[in-house]
Structure 1
Amino acid sequence: MAPATAAVVTVPLGPEAPTRAGVWAAILTSVHRAGLLPDEALYRAVVALAGGSGDPGDIARAALAQVSTSLGLTVIGPVPETARAAVLRDAREAHGVSLRFDRPATADTALERALRAGDLAEADRVAWREHPFTSPLGGRLTRLEPSDLREYPMLALRAGVAMYARDQTRGRADAYFTVATRSGSRIGELTEPVPRAVAHAVMSMAHRRLGDNERMLHHTHRAVEVLEPIAIARRATGQEAEAVAMGLDQAGISLYLGGDGMAARRVFEALAVHAAAAELPVRINRAQALLALLDAVEGRMNSTEQRLLRIDPSAWPEGWDGSHLAKPAHIAKASLLTSRADPMGALEVLRLVESDYPTADFWGPMHVIRLTAAGLAEDEQLMARFVQDAEAHPGPRLPRTAASMDLGHAIISGLAPHIVAPRPPYAARSEAARAISALALVRTRPAAAAEAAASIENGMPAVQIFVLLVRFLAAREQDRPAAAAEVAALANHHGLWSPFAMLTAPERELLRALAPEGALAEFDHYRTRALTGQGDVVLTEGEHRVLAALATGASRPEMARDLHLSLNTVKSHLRALYLKLGVTTRDQALQRARSLGLMRRHG
């Protein structure tokens, strides 16, 4: 047992069974968050553990030697027996460290045993029979080079998934996916429908990483036809439930990147139903994050805000705030901040997820938000840099990426035509870009612009507001009040005001004069704050009190006790506070609050 004076640290793990190195990385991260491990020690250890450059126990003990107090560690989460035994042995050899696990060990799978024995042929054969992709098998598998796996494509796929799940190794994933795509025809060897469907979903991920849209969609549809009915019927439980959730997640992303947003939304809705029924809190958050991102892309900002409020920050395991699972929530928050008059705040949020910007699944929304935020802040230097970034790193070669590039060009040409010259509507590749191009054209050729806008059938609010602006500017004088009322009503309904920034000052004055009184008040407030950099955050009294409690380091139960609130009320205040600040962790919230002067208001 640790001495009575030992520092007690709780170490939460993710839902996937980790390796020995993964457990130690989580332990060291938690010790660092407790203020006991120096930044440099954590950095060196995590890099070494991720790269497999030494014995995990030796790496961990060297880092823990820099902790000045005894430690009592409690690890919360599933860990395979072999990894658990190795970590306990490592801890016994570390000075002043007491460690316990709060759950029974998970059984080693046949795949893990084959890998441990170095029998890759058996591992490849067994991998097709077992539930695939519900544990990363990280260290042992990812230490194999792609060339070692040319005859073992399923193992290559597993390695690619494990690599992609971690920021430190994501850049290596595509080499494994290249090997893995050879295995597509062997998926039929799986006899059980769920493992086969999940394998199709992850194979779609491999093909989308490599830019093969046709094969990506082939595997996606094979996955969805099995997994979606299971999810809607709420039939999956146990290990199968996590596998179904993972398959739906990846299939929905592939549909989105393949250009079918409606089908992607349907799959993400099925994921939300399934995750709630199976009580998978991380996947519940993930489903809401993905749906919030779709809403943001379509311009449904009020809906985006409501979905983000449903995300429970406490349900994300510690350290996952910047992970691949939380990225859609960050991007949706950045889009919301842009629409709510805080473009620089939006760019701050995007910095949390930009480590793999050139190859990210959600490169398109990130690209559009970056350009929009820089344009609304009227920072031409930043706009030019983002344009150059996009040209140098054009993202995955898929339909949605091409449409985002086209939309980004239209946005910059609308906000700063001297940086990027406008294109005529007929040259636009997407209806969103065509609508923005029509807005630029309406000033010189109103009839042609109105004709181009009338041909646009896309019903997304982000597109329709531009169509209505073109109709307003091209309308006869007697028809303009009705057109002004229509566009103001749509913008208010969805909380989307950024398109109005592309109007000239005289055009905005005309719209303001003809729209119903007060209809553009929100936009006027928004525009003033955007140009002055004053992203005014208004907190309720309850949020103020919780913010002050955050600064003391109090836990959620301690806040509830000290503030005389229920724990659920504290969680609700925290969700609203984090959303308004555009953050996901305590440290980020305090830093953002200080930068906005909110902490000074508490004395």
Structure 2
Amino acid sequence: MSGGASGEAAIAVYLALAEGDGEGAVSIAEAHWDDLSRERSTVLRLVAESVPAGLIDGREHWQDVLYRAPFRLPAGPAGRGDSAVRQRLVDLTRRSRQARLGGDIALALETAFEARDAFREAARRGEAPTDAAHLMIEWAMAFVVGGPMPRTGWDTQPEEQLEETYSWAVSSGDHVSASRAAAELAWLHAFAGRAATTQRWTRRASVMWHANTGSPLGASPAYIALSLRRSDGLDFRGAIEALAVLAGDHVPDHRILVATATAMYGVHLNDGVVQETRRELMRTIEAAPEGLLAAPLNQGAIAYAESYRLLLGGDPMAALRLLDKGPGTRLPLYAEARRASAALQRGDLSQAETAAMTALEEGGAMPRFMIEAWAALAAVQLRAGAHDTAREMFGRAVDLSDRERLPVALALTSSDDHARLSALLRDGHERPSLVALRERRMRRPERVDATDALTPQEQRVVRTIAEGLSVPEAATRLNVSVNTVKTQLRAVYRKLGATRREEMLGTARTRGIL
């Protein structure tokens, strides 16, 4: 067996350990014993120290491994680079981290860019410190939490920095930083809905994590990625269990992500779980430093979970208000796709179509939100009677969902819309995503059209005001008090999402109320 082949065996051992398969790890190690013992003895020691004692008791060769000298990480290349360069990188990194945790995201990004540029210039001169990976992680975190600022872009910038960090960490023997970078990449790709890429980075994170004998650093994002993939497959209880192991986790950048993800999964379980996960989210928000709450990543995570809960609870207007908080909300693509789902739920087909098209135009590299947008567009066309176009658009959503194993992304259309759209695709071939949704019977945001949302009294007030009557005149016509008319009008404005009389009347006309 060559070094490359023994490396493959080592990876297989690491993955078996990561999955809790001690017996499998022992079996693989013994099948490649001579080569691993000669070339990768640390792998054998890791197995001996990790598996239950009963699996290796009485086996002399394993006992010999167990009582050898303790395992030590390789020190990496001897050179540490120019000391002045290193000190500058340390100072810039410290400033970036302090700014990030303090809520000054613009400063965090600016200093992270400055540090990264200085590092790359030093690397070109051969003066970059070999132990810089732990600093590079901090620059990447500024890009991750910073959102779409002028010099960054969600689709590429954080991934680029994390991949650079991973490569540098591996080459210098810094398995801790390599594990953290790979785990961050795993959850970023999981959030985007890229199944194969998520799996690849999860495997790399696992290998690096075990190579460092289980450092806790990097565990949070890896478990977030695992929970997302379980949720994508509609295993919501399993998704919550994947995050439960992170209770008390000390990595501040992930506390809010964990709480929001848990709350989002909980809405599909019983009422007790719904209430407890939301209480935990509120406790996390209250206890979080103001700077972390101000970070676009965390603002968006909260909006992502809360808008989902509101749609399932039948309150699309509240979801839209949450999504319209203004600049700083994380992920424009996510916001537009979710805005399309909310507009569709309240019956505003024009807004739903516009938001979905914007989502598709802004970032086609994120399957999770493309699926949601295509499904919303399909429902718009279905309700407009354009069945052929609806079939084509829903087909695109389902094909992408099947490819990325993301049936959950198809679950933001109403039960009625979903059933009718699914019927359009019946061609004798079962679609895995549709089968999964049919078997799971998960909660969906049901339609709340404006005519259904307004009470009969509110509809009468709208029609009276539309005749040009003032509030007192409308009260006289309807034989109610002025305060009653004002109260009903406030409810109408809220339900129709309007702030001015002309806007309210225009929306009422498009909904068929007038």
Fold similarity call, TM over 0.5: yes
* Secondary structure at 1:353 match in 2: coil
The answer to whether 1:499 aligns with 2:439 is no
* Cα distance per residue 1:423-479 (max 9 Å; x no partner): 256457453134223213214111222123233324322222222122111113331
8 Å Cα contact 1:462-1:496 kept in structure 2: yes
The answer to whether 1:254 aligns with 2:254 is no
> C-alpha separation between the residues in 2 aligned to 1:318 and 1:454?
46
Aligned alpha-carbon RMSD (Å):
3.7
Relative to 1, partners in 2 of residues 1:235 and 1:507: Cα closer, same or farther, differing over 3 Å?
Answer: farther
1:473 to 369, 373, 379: 379
The answer to whether 1:342 aligns with 2:235 is yes
* Secondary structure at 2:338 match in 1: helix
Instruction: Please list, as runs of the form range in 1=range in 2, the aligned pairs for 1:547-562 lying within 5 A after superposition.
Output: none
> C-alpha separation between the residues in 2 aligned to 1:527 and 1:192?
62
8 Å Cα contact 1:290-1:329 kept in structure 2: yes
> C-alpha separation between the residues in 2 aligned to 1:203 and 1:400?
19
Match of 2:353 in 1: 450
> C-alpha separation between the residues in 2 aligned to 1:445 and 1:367?
31
> C-alpha separation between the residues in 2 aligned to 1:305 and 1:471?
30
Match of 1:380 in 2: 271
8 Å Cα contact 1:234-1:278 kept in structure 2: no
Instruction: Please list, as runs of the form range in 1=range in 2, the aligned pairs for 1:1-400 lying within 5 A after superposition.
Output: 74-77=69-72, 192-228=84-120, 240-242=129-131, 244-259=132-147, 260=152, 261=154, 262-313=156-207, 315-316=209-210, 320=214, 323-356=216-249, 360-375=252-267, 377-394=268-285, 395=288, 396-397=292-293, 398-400=295-297
| Cα offset, 1:296, TM superposition | 1.3
* Secondary structure at 2:411 match in 1: helix
* Cα distance per residue 1:347-379 (max 9 Å; x no partner): 11212223147x72123532442133223x333
8 Å Cα contact 1:365-1:404 kept in structure 2: yes
User: What letter is aligned with 1:290?
Assistant: E
> C-alpha separation between the residues in 1 aligned to 2:238 and 2:275?
19
8 Å Cα contact 1:371-1:386 kept in structure 2: yes
Most deviating of 465-474 and 281-290: 281-290
Relative to 1, partners in 2 of residues 1:481 and 1:434: Cα closer, same or farther, differing over 3 Å?
Answer: same
Relative to 1, partners in 2 of residues 1:529 and 1:447: Cα closer, same or farther, differing over 3 Å?
Answer: closer
Most deviating of 500-509 and 378-387: 378-387
The answer to whether 1:438 aligns with 2:348 is no
8 Å Cα contact 1:292-1:329 kept in structure 2: yes
Match of 1:521 in 2: 432
> C-alpha separation between the residues in 1 aligned to 2:403 and 2:259?
25
| Cα offset, 1:315, TM superposition | 4.8
> More helix by proportion, 1 or 2?
2
* Cα distance per residue 1:64-99 (max 9 Å; x no partner): xxxxxxx97954337xxxxxxxxxxxxxxxxxxxxx
Gaps of 5+ in 1: 1-29, 36-70, 79-102, 105-129, 133-189, 533-603
Rg larger for? 2
Relative to 1, partners in 2 of residues 1:527 and 1:289: Cα closer, same or farther, differing over 3 Å?
Answer: farther
1:464 to 363, 370, 377: 370
8 Å Cα contact 1:300-1:496 kept in structure 2: no
TM-score, length of structure 2 as denominator length:
0.61
User: What letter is aligned with 1:331?
Assistant: I
Relative to 1, partners in 2 of residues 1:241 and 1:489: Cα closer, same or farther, differing over 3 Å?
Answer: same
Match of 1:166 in 2: none
| Cα offset, 1:211, TM superposition | 2.1
| Cα offset, 1:258, TM superposition | 0.8
TM-score, length of structure 1 as denominator length:
0.52
How high is the sequence identity, in percent, across the aligned residues?
Answer: 18
Gaps of 5+ in 2: 1-47, 54-65, 444-514
Relative to 1, partners in 2 of residues 1:465 and 1:447: Cα closer, same or farther, differing over 3 Å?
Answer: same
> In the comparison of the two structures, how many residue pairs are matched?
357
User: What letter is aligned with 1:521?
Assistant: P
> C-alpha separation between the residues in 1 aligned to 2:210 and 2:127?
22
